[in-house]
Structure 1
Amino acid sequence: MVTLTLHEARIDMKRPFRHARKARQETASVLVAAEHGGETGWGEAAPREYVTGESVASVLAALRRRELPAGIAELAGAPLEEALAGLAALQLPGLLGERGRPAPAAAAALETALFDLVCRLHGVDGLRALRLAGYGDVLAAEPAPMPVATVLDLGGDPVARLAALPSPVRKAIPHVKLKAGHEVAPVADLVARLGALVPDATVSVDANGAWHAEDVLAQAPRLLAAGVSWLEEPLAPRSWADLARLRQSGLRVMLDESFSSARDLADCTAHQAADLINLRVSKCGGPLRLLALARAASAAGVGVQLGVQVGEVGPLWATGRLIGTALRGTVAVEAGRQDEWFPTHPPLTDPAYQVDRTASRAPALSGPGIGLRPTRALLDLCALTYAEGQR
């Protein structure tokens, strides 16, 4: 018997995070505990309606459906490799969705919790389990501290914020992502000024779907001259033909809101609409599905970035850390800024969130599964919404 417990986390952030589509001042996550045989695995969803169409309410509703998904109870008692294969085969986004619409954020929370539970029942660390699940071709044999991108949101002057860092700290930054507003014209100058501060780093611009194709095309020569490395989600999601036109101008395009499934990858490659995709655990349906998409992207000649949802409170950032310290061939890796957004004393997780900001590196976690548990301090900030039911 596997029992699920659901917690809704709405935690005030110390400062808002702003981009062209949203100003976020609190997290909005669902924590899932999957219990069996005295062990507990943890997962998390960070649903965003503008990304996958899901909300906290829809995730909670999906995970409360007692008849779905079938087969979970058998995973806990199965041999390790059989359990991992069974978990990968469940197709959770579709099983948890309604009316033909998948629910990848809900699936990510459940898949991560079950993956963590299986690993803990067998005393296996997450990377070994991911390799046993069949993803050794896209993962390094051993984890290494991951290089962490710097993300500059619309909450202040991005050039001033980057310039305020000591020169050795700026030199260690591997990638800078600039969150852009609705106007394209000012961006080229900002990219050039940021690039001058971090000459060894790549610099991308994320418009969160707020721009129009003709405006971007008009500014393409200036953006290219400024040294922009790629544009992330520059247009309204799934504007395949217009995205292809941007690429024909010489600009590189990364998909984010436009991408959460194999269908999206097939569409973007059919239209030659993207050079890169942003993989995020919550929107991709969990760690196993993310790695399957990473493999498919590589086969299609599309590069990948490992991103985060703003406000991940625990299991999600730990799962991203697990993958980010081993995934091969990423153009950039994000880690969030939980140390700035949320209380650090007492810590919300064990181990506590950690990034070496001086070296722009994030260490791997250790221990079984995703290597993390929520603390009492985090659970006290959550509302217990469901604590019954066998899946």
Structure 2
Amino acid sequence: MSADAAALGGRRGSGTAKVALTAYEARIPMARGFRHAGKNRAETASVLVAAEWGAVTGWGEAAPREYVTGESPDSVRAALERGVPASVADWIGAPLPDALAGLLALDLPTFLGEPGRPAPAAAAAVETALFDLVCRSAGVPGLRALHTAGFGDLLADRAAPVPVATVLDLGRDPAERLAALPAAVRAAIPHVKLKAGPDVAPVAGQVARVRDLVPDATVSVDANGSWDAGEVLAHAERLRSAGPAWLEEPLAPRSWADMARLRGAGLRVMLDESFSGAADLADCLTHGAADLLNLRVSKCGGPLRLLTLARAARAAGLGVQLGVQVGEVGPLWAAGRLIGTALREPVAVEAGRQDEWFPARPAFTAPGYQVDRAASRAPALTGPGIGLRPTWALLERCVPCRPPRQEAGQEDQ
């Protein structure tokens, strides 16, 4: 164990510890774009965050999406100027259980947001960076820390390669893309997510064709909030017959009553853009608006907040999917991988397509992105914290934007 690890594991915060945040905006062209009903994305839009405490650095990432949480790279950069809450000084040098308890107690979406407008994407970057920092200082892997933080009821004791979903966007015909794969590769796919445009009419036929090609997989449809409730109800019988396992965000976000109507017509509903925190979960339950939730690290406010929301969802009888934001460049997919390779009984796990979007060499991260496409499995990362660091090849393509250094003992702003 390093001297830093011994220090973090054996002393209380002194009130004089300094945690400095450094932000890097990553706007990197993607080798292949990704199109859905809400966006045609051809480049990343991430903000990387380094949290430094002495000689130790933890890494996080925000993937702000205005149509999901109302945030943008500009708003994340502005939020990061607030630094970290003053209470960090109370636990940054504490034993691991106390440090994790202190991190869990932070309300970063509120602290980093504006009155009435929380900032979960910015919070995800800071929470992930602080979590990684605490783990690296203590020399422990992230999964062990998540168990220490009290999430053992949701997570396996050991990480294992996880079957990952295949997500088919609107840029290519889904049946043609699947038909081009070898039969053995299709047979290994556990779940297919079809992105859908605003027209409901052709979707049942698309689902049926996909189910013929992957009969052992579950199939869902993600409309990204583009459908009209009346149209969906008019096609409800055909959709039920085609057999999608669920419809993800079929209507405009937070159309609680109309989504409950879809459920009343026998269609299972998953929330995505409609859900980013406890208030949305409460509204969903009040209206009986969903069967499942899509949890993503960036929109939920970080890995610890995601697991807290997963626990609440399961207590309410809702299933959960672990999703991703398109174009995650490093710490975000690592945080998702940390959870995905240990989460108990998700309905589906997504892993992104960084191997299509970005060049393998030079690698953006160490270790580099890994998914076995032939087996549709994603391996766990090893090492302390989230198990990954950005490389210089990534950082040199980013624009550094360092907020004012803040002492963790400063007053909250």
**TM-score, scaled to structure 1:** 0.99
The residue matched to 1:339 in structure 2 has which SS?
helix
Does the aligned pair in 2 maintain the 1:75–1:118 contact within 8 Å? no
* Structure 2 unpaired stretches of 5+: 1-17, 409-413
Picking from 23, 47, 67, the partner of 1:30 is 47
Q: Note if 1:81 corresponds to 2:101.
A: no
Picking from 317, 321, 337, the partner of 2:337 is 321
How far is the alpha carbon of 1:161 from its aligned partner? 0.5
Match of 2:269 in 1: 253
Picking from 190, 193, 196, the partner of 1:177 is 193
Distance of 1:53 and 1:372 partners within structure 2: 28
Q: Note if 1:138 corresponds to 2:129.
A: no
Distance of 1:347 and 1:387 partners within structure 2: 27
Picking from 161, 174, 179, the partner of 1:158 is 174
Q: Note if 1:56 corresponds to 2:73.
A: yes
How far is the alpha carbon of 1:76 from its aligned partner? 2.4
- Which of 350-359 and 94-103 deviates more? 94-103
* Structure 1 unpaired stretches of 5+: none
- Residue identity in the other structure for 1:340: E
Does the aligned pair in 1 maintain the 2:220–2:246 contact within 8 Å? yes
The residue matched to 1:317 in structure 2 has which SS?
helix
- Residue identity in the other structure for 2:144: R
Match of 2:58 in 1: 41
Match of 2:14 in 1: none
Match of 2:319 in 1: 303
Deviations 1:161-197 (A, max 9, x none): 0110000000000000000001000000000000000
Does the aligned pair in 2 maintain the 1:96–1:102 contact within 8 Å? yes
Does the aligned pair in 2 maintain the 1:62–1:96 contact within 8 Å? yes
How far is the alpha carbon of 1:387 from its aligned partner? 5.6
Distance of 1:203 and 1:90 partners within structure 2: 37
Picking from 157, 160, 164, the partner of 1:148 is 164
Map 1:340-351 to 2 at 5 A.
340-351=356-367
Does the aligned pair in 2 maintain the 1:69–1:96 contact within 8 Å? no
Distance of 2:77 and 2:235 partners within structure 1: 43
Does the aligned pair in 1 maintain the 2:248–2:271 contact within 8 Å? yes
How far is the alpha carbon of 1:72 from its aligned partner? 2.2
How far is the alpha carbon of 1:384 from its aligned partner? 0.5
Distance of 2:158 and 2:172 partners within structure 1: 38
- Residue identity in the other structure for 2:129: A
**TM-score, scaled to structure 2:** 0.93
Does the aligned pair in 1 maintain the 2:80–2:403 contact within 8 Å? no
Distance of 2:32 and 2:331 partners within structure 1: 22
Picking from 289, 308, 312, the partner of 2:305 is 289
Picking from 102, 108, 127, the partner of 2:143 is 127
How far is the alpha carbon of 1:38 from its aligned partner? 1.1
Distance of 1:188 and 1:248 partners within structure 2: 19
Does the aligned pair in 1 maintain the 2:81–2:403 contact within 8 Å? no
Match of 2:245 in 1: 229
Match of 1:104 in 2: 120
Percentage of matched positions with identical amino acids: 74
Distance of 1:269 and 1:314 partners within structure 2: 34
The residue matched to 1:18 in structure 2 has which SS?
strand
Distance of 1:4 and 1:73 partners within structure 2: 14
- Residue identity in the other structure for 2:266: G
How far is the alpha carbon of 1:4 from its aligned partner? 1.1
Does the aligned pair in 2 maintain the 1:4–1:35 contact within 8 Å? yes
Match of 2:20 in 1: 3
Match of 2:294 in 1: 278
Does the aligned pair in 1 maintain the 2:160–2:341 contact within 8 Å? yes
How far is the alpha carbon of 1:270 from its aligned partner? 1.1
The residue matched to 1:47 in structure 2 has which SS?
coil
Picking from 13, 17, 30, the partner of 2:30 is 13
Distance of 2:183 and 2:22 partners within structure 1: 47
Structural RMSD (CA): 0.8
Q: Note if 1:210 corresponds to 2:223.
A: no
How far is the alpha carbon of 1:69 from its aligned partner? 2.0
- Residue identity in the other structure for 2:156: A
How far is the alpha carbon of 1:74 from its aligned partner? 3.6
Distance of 2:118 and 2:21 partners within structure 1: 20
- Residue identity in the other structure for 1:266: A
The residue matched to 1:254 in structure 2 has which SS?
strand
The residue matched to 1:330 in structure 2 has which SS?
coil
> How many pairs does the alignment contain?
390
Distance of 1:143 and 1:211 partners within structure 2: 38
Distance of 2:91 and 2:197 partners within structure 1: 46
Distance of 2:182 and 2:267 partners within structure 1: 31
How far is the alpha carbon of 1:388 from its aligned partner? 4.2
Distance of 1:247 and 1:135 partners within structure 2: 31
The residue matched to 2:86 in structure 1 has which SS?
coil
Find runs of 4+ consecutive structure 1 residues off by over 2 angstroms: 72-76
Deviations 1:106-157 (A, max 9, x none): 0000000000000000001000000100111111111111111000000111
Does the aligned pair in 1 maintain the 2:24–2:49 contact within 8 Å? yes
Distance of 2:236 and 2:213 partners within structure 1: 22
Q: Note if 1:262 corresponds to 2:278.
A: yes
Deviations 1:343-387 (A, max 9, x none): 210100000000000000000000000000000000011000116
Distance of 1:148 and 1:92 partners within structure 2: 30
Deviations 1:283-334 (A, max 9, x none): 0000000000000000000000000000000000000000000111200000
How far is the alpha carbon of 1:75 from its aligned partner? 3.2
Does the aligned pair in 2 maintain the 1:42–1:113 contact within 8 Å? yes
The residue matched to 1:293 in structure 2 has which SS?
helix
Does the aligned pair in 1 maintain the 2:127–2:301 contact within 8 Å? yes
